[in-house]
Structure 1
Amino acid sequence: MKTATLGSTGVRVTELSFGAAGIGNLYRPITDEAALATVDAAWDAGIRTFDTAPHYGLGLSERRLGAALRDRPRDTYTVSTKVGRLLEPDPRGGRGDDLAHGFAVSDTHRRVWDFSADGVLRSLEASLQRLGLDRVDVALLHDPDDHADQALREAYPALERLRDEGVIGAIGVGMNQCALPARFLRETDIDVVLLAGRYTLLEQQGLAEMLPEASARGRSVVIGGVFNSGLLIAPEPGAMYDYAPAPQPVLDRALRLKAVAERHGVPLRSAALHFPYGHPAVASVLTGARFVDEVRDTVEQLRHPVPAALWDDLRAEGLLAPDTPTPAGTPSENSP
């Protein structure tokens, strides 16, 4: 599988990254055995970049990912985790679940927002214990939307020191919006932005400011949420978009995208997966999976040929702006 380097660091990522929220029981539980098999399937497919966070299943994702990678040579894969939410034991917990936060786990802990320098260090130490690793390769500030000032003043300098000391290879921010990551790119020396849901075949908000900033400064972007909560996998009434049922205009747009893709013999989910690679700042696309079949399907969609004419038709129908960068077309099996 192709690889790229994050910014000016020596940290390499595969073109597909494995998002480990699903193995943290996102929305519904899976077994430890299923989680292990899913990570093994990603490994067998050539994926060597794995992203997790304390938030995912109150640490379950980190524990399962660490267990799945434990016998792999440490210098053969890249792990990223996140800071900003500390997990603290909840004396009133253990009797309910965490589904209010999206995870089917027992509510034994509570999340505490903390973007202080001390909070960063404590978070990373706890993550390393759960992962069973002596280091992570990438540390990301996780959703500092409502804590921007503290994240810039305290958390970022702490990560910068750890990077300078060689404790962490690359640092960055992971968010579902564009404005604050663009500010981090302008005001700090982060290496990477993990942008979820805002640069997809359906919507390209990232093109307005964030992606140009990354390109101009030689920084990298990892794109998550390429299927927009599943809408670009199966656009139909009731399909989810941004964690809620898709509004009718958004659903209609997704159906138009699907119609164009299918005219070229390309599944919509394949076109959605390929699309972000057209931007030069994009180093990897991150997709989540719970089960082996999901991993295998994603890899199959990445290998599916997408002709340049598909992107041309999307522009012609007003579904992509004329100047939107798109991947170089790959020959279609149906081409003459």
Structure 2
Amino acid sequence: MDRTTIRGVEVTPLGLGTAPLGGLFTPVTEEDATATVDAAWDHGVRFFDTAPLYGYGNAERRLGRALARRPRAEFTVATKVGRLLRDPAVIGSAELDTTQEFDGQPFYRGTGREVPVFDFSYDGALRALEESLTRLGLDRVDVVHVHDADDHVQPAIDGAYRALNRLRDEGVVGAIGLGIDHCEPAVDILRAVDLDCVLIAGRWTLLDQSAAVELLPLAEDRGVAIVAAGVFNSGVLADPGAPGATFDYVPSDPLITARAAAMAAVCARHGVPLKAAALQFPHRHPAVRVVLTGARTPAELCENTALANLAIPEELWADLALECGVPSPA
């Protein structure tokens, strides 16, 4: 697989997101997690994105164990700060993260006793990174994002980013960024902080191009790399006909599902799976350096890498623009 860089940190244009390995929606066995990382390696993926949130520590531990026998110089790991994992009996006045469930059901299955609490302070960021390194079994990570600072923009600027800037200046980490689902706070932070990259989830996809309004142009102007995640909008773009298809982690609105189905029909006319178009679309913007895809089994991983490399005719993009309103920035 080709390589590119984020502030000198080498990455592959297709990365493995590890939220599914943490049990997102469905429990994942240790064996499947290891086999999935191994499959990614065999297919040339060398960029692995994780976070304390994913499985409440499970994804970091599983990724670390799977990579332990690999040469450290040959892969890149990104993790995130902004949440600490704590026993609910002792969190005290800490701000419990209550965003990780829908209709009474948690997003992550098979987690342990610890739960995430928000902490965007200077010291909290340092603690979060230290604890992530322990779970990963690594002495360093390459990229560190501040995670989900949507409602904590100023505390993150004043606290967590001061810590990350210091670590970058000291060479402890190679690059710093932002991992977020919404464009407005991303733009606010990008204007205030010297970022190297922005991981934007679900906002530069076939169904949602809101990142193109301000975030992508600003990133391109500043030379900030975009890491596009959530390219299936959590499921509906993978299979709009699946029972219970989700959009941004909750049941998809029928209008959104119908629009995804219309895109699938356009793709089918060209002999291209919708998933392939969804995977390849983000790279059509010059600011996008990496597309992250999640997988919970080797079969999913192999399918994703094959679709990411499938030849797609330019006529398909033109028809998606004409019939479905999907922009064609290339």
C-alpha contact (below 8 Å) 2:259/2:324 kept by paired residues: no
Task: Find the residue that maps to 1:79 and give its secondary structure.
Answer: strand
Kindly indicate whether residue 166 of structure 2 is the aligned counterpart of residue 161 of structure 1. yes
Alpha-carbon separation, structure 2, partners of 1:258 and 1:173: 31
Report how many aligned residue pairs link the two structures.
318
- Residue number in structure 2 paired with 1:203: 208
Alpha-carbon separation, structure 1, partners of 2:244 and 2:22: 25
Kindly indicate whether residue 4 of structure 2 is the aligned counterpart of residue 4 of structure 1. yes
CA shift for structure 1 position 318: 4.4
- Residue number in structure 1 paired with 2:72: 74
The counterpart of 1:258, out of the listed 253, 259, 264, is: 264
Mapping of residues 165-176 of structure 1, within 5 Å:
165-176=170-181
CA shift for structure 1 position 259: 1.1
Moved more, 21-30 or 278-287: 21-30
Kindly provide the amino acid, as one letter, of the partner of residue 49 in structure 1: F
Kindly indicate whether residue 325 of structure 2 is the aligned counterpart of residue 325 of structure 1. no
Task: Find the residue that maps to 2:65 and give its secondary structure.
Answer: helix
Alpha-carbon separation, structure 2, partners of 1:183 and 1:91: 35
- Residue number in structure 1 paired with 2:236: 231
CA shift for structure 1 position 110: 2.1
Kindly provide the amino acid, as one letter, of the partner of residue 5 in structure 2: T
Alpha-carbon separation, structure 2, partners of 1:106 and 1:299: 28
C-alpha contact (below 8 Å) 1:58/1:105 kept by paired residues: no
The C-alpha deviation readout for 1:205-264, integer Å capped at 9, x for no partner, is 000000000000001000001111111111126321111221122112111111111111
C-alpha contact (below 8 Å) 1:141/1:173 kept by paired residues: yes
The counterpart of 1:144, out of the listed 149, 160, 174, is: 149
Mapping of residues 96-175 of structure 1, within 5 Å:
100-175=105-180
C-alpha contact (below 8 Å) 1:85/1:112 kept by paired residues: yes
Alpha-carbon separation, structure 1, partners of 2:270 and 2:3: 28
Kindly provide the amino acid, as one letter, of the partner of residue 108 in structure 2: F
Task: Find the residue that maps to 1:317 and give its secondary structure.
Answer: helix
The C-alpha deviation readout for 1:162-212, integer Å capped at 9, x for no partner, is 000000000010011111111222111010000000000112000000000
Task: Find the residue that maps to 2:35 and give its secondary structure.
Answer: helix
Kindly provide the amino acid, as one letter, of the partner of residue 319 in structure 2: D
The C-alpha deviation readout for 1:292-331, integer Å capped at 9, x for no partner, is 000000011012110001111112224224xx314xxxxx
Alpha-carbon separation, structure 1, partners of 2:122 and 2:180: 20
Runs of 4+ in 1 over 6 A off after TM superposition: none
Alpha-carbon separation, structure 1, partners of 2:281 and 2:181: 18
Moved more, 227-236 or 125-134: 227-236
- Residue number in structure 2 paired with 1:330: none
Runs of 5+ unmatched residues, structure 1? 327-336
Kindly provide the amino acid, as one letter, of the partner of residue 308 in structure 2: L
- Residue number in structure 1 paired with 2:94: none
- Residue number in structure 1 paired with 2:11: 13
Alpha-carbon separation, structure 2, partners of 1:129 and 1:240: 33
Task: Find the residue that maps to 2:110 and give its secondary structure.
Answer: strand
C-alpha contact (below 8 Å) 1:115/1:150 kept by paired residues: yes
Alpha-carbon separation, structure 1, partners of 2:194 and 2:19: 27
The C-alpha deviation readout for 1:89-148, integer Å capped at 9, x for no partner, is 23389xxxx974411124411211100000000000000000000000000000011111
Alpha-carbon separation, structure 2, partners of 1:92 and 1:167: 31
CA shift for structure 1 position 289: 0.7
Alpha-carbon separation, structure 1, partners of 2:323 and 2:25: 36
C-alpha contact (below 8 Å) 2:262/2:324 kept by paired residues: no
Q: TM-score, normalised by structure 1?
A: 0.91
Runs of 5+ unmatched residues, structure 2? 92-99
The C-alpha deviation readout for 1:2-48, integer Å capped at 9, x for no partner, is 22111xx1111101100111111222222211111010000000000
